[in-house]
Amino acid sequence: MITLYTWKTPNGRKPAIMLEEVSLAYTARGVDISADEQFDPAFLALSPNNKIPAMVDHDAAGGEQALFESGAILTYLATKSGRSCGARTRPGGARKRPGVGERSPSDPGCAPCPSS
Ligand X SMILES: N[C@@H](CCC(=O)N[C@@H](CS)C(=O)NCC(=O)O)C(=O)O
Pick 9 or 89: Cβ nearer ligand X: 9
Count of beta carbons in the 10 Å neighbourhood of residue 51: 19
CB of 18 to ligand X, least distance (A): 12
CB of 59 to ligand X, least distance (A): 22
Cα angle 75, 78, 81 (rounded to 5 degrees) comes to: 145
**What sign has the CA pseudo-torsion 29, 17, 94, 25?**
positive
CB of 11 to ligand X, least distance (A): 4
Give contact residues for ligand X (rule: CB under 6 A).
9, 11-12, 33, 38, 50-53, 69-71, 106, 108
DSSP 26: E
